[in-house]
Amino acid sequence: MGRKGEQFAGLTVALITPFRDGAVDESALRRLVDFHVESGTDCVSPVGTTGESPTLSHEEHERVIAIVCEQAAGRIKVMAGTGSNSTSEAIRLTRFAQKAGADAALMVAPYYNKPMQEGFYQHYKAVAEAVDLPIVLYNIPGRTGKNMEPETIARIGELPNVVAVKEASGSMDQASQILNLSELTVLSGDDSLTLPLLAIGGSGVVSVVGNIVPQDVQAMIRAFRDGDTVTAQQWHQKLFPLCRDLLSLATNPIPIKAAMQLLGRDTGEVRLPLTALDDAQRTALAQTLTKYGLM
């Protein structure tokens, strides 16, 4: 059974937004896109959670999407973060992403205002009718405050241009239910759950750890696809301590930016209210990176 969004199977990297002295570092952002083109990453997703979208101004949000689309220049897919808890703002951002040349929009479930399930449906329906762009739903109840139920996700998935869901509820049962009820492509929203999700019928991941080891995540996915579960499990075990640290030492994207700084690939700057890792956390992260073979 072919799923709707298989053009977004594989590895999508949830890009950080590099900052220098408080401003978006545009040349660093362009270098990141080039790095992922060279690494064979399938798709990049700017201005999601990892891209610190909550603290970007509207102008910065649009500028980041525009730069990434321009730098990608058709060499790599772009799944732009355009979600909002205001439906009119989500429409505006998604229209902008379409105009900028994005291949898809990654739209987080409206957060904080905790809509009813009907509200989730009407929100996505309004956006889907306003644009002609593939839409990837993003369910992350730990951040939004409310779960989009599998039945709701399946119902939204009947809209023609809604093609996939980034499922970050942490529940395999929820993911199985979505796969059962819908034709949507299911992408992992948690790096440590990518392999289990592939095992039940998922198609890939929107990854944080892929910011630093995209080829290793690709190798795990490829091994699984080739039927080599032993190699896939070995990659999972190797990646796991890194995935664990990036999500448990502090809120994402604090640890991934610290890791990129330790590897000489970013300033490590985050915007308030996010704060840098303390010395003990940095030491723990450096040990994990060293054990992995990156330092």
Q: Is residue 234 part of a domain?
A: no
Residue 228 pLDDT: 98
Average pLDDT, the chain: 98
Banded model confidence at residue 1, pLDDT cuts 50, 70, 90: low
pLDDT (average), residues 191-218: 98
- Angstrom distance (rounded) from CA 124 to CA 122: 6
Spell out the residues 6+ positions from residue 278 whose beta carbon is closer than 8 angstroms to its own. Answer: none
Q: Is residue 290 part of a domain?
A: no
Residue 135 scores a pLDDT above 80:
yes
Residue among 152, 196, 184, 191 nearest 168 (CA): 191
pLDDT (average), residues 47-51: 97
Residue 77 scores a pLDDT above 70:
yes
Banded model confidence at residue 2, pLDDT cuts 50, 70, 90: confident
Range of the domain at 66: 6-228
Residue 149 pLDDT: 98
Assign residue 38 the CATH number of its domain: 3.20.20.70
Q: Is residue 72 part of a domain?
A: yes
pTM, to two decimals = 0.98
pLDDT (average), residues 121-125: 98
Residue 190 scores a pLDDT above 80:
yes
Residue 198 scores a pLDDT above 70:
yes
Could you give the number of structural domains in the chain? Answer: 1
Residue among 209, 207, 257, 211 nearest 32 (CA): 211
Q: Is residue 54 part of a domain?
A: yes
Residues labelled as active-site residues: 138, 166
Q: Is residue 202 part of a domain?
A: yes
Q: Is residue 20 part of a domain?
A: yes
pLDDT (average), residues 88-105: 98
**28-49 core/surface letters (b: 16 or more CB in 10 A; e: else):** bbbebbebbeebebbbbbbbbb
- Angstrom distance (rounded) from CA 28 to CA 71: 11
- Angstrom distance (rounded) from CA 251 to CA 270: 11
Q: Is residue 244 part of a domain?
A: no
pLDDT tens for each residue of 258-293: 999 999 999 999 999 999 999 999 999 999 999 999
Q: Is residue 282 part of a domain?
A: no
Residue 72 scores a pLDDT above 80:
yes
- Angstrom distance (rounded) from CA 26 to CA 28: 5
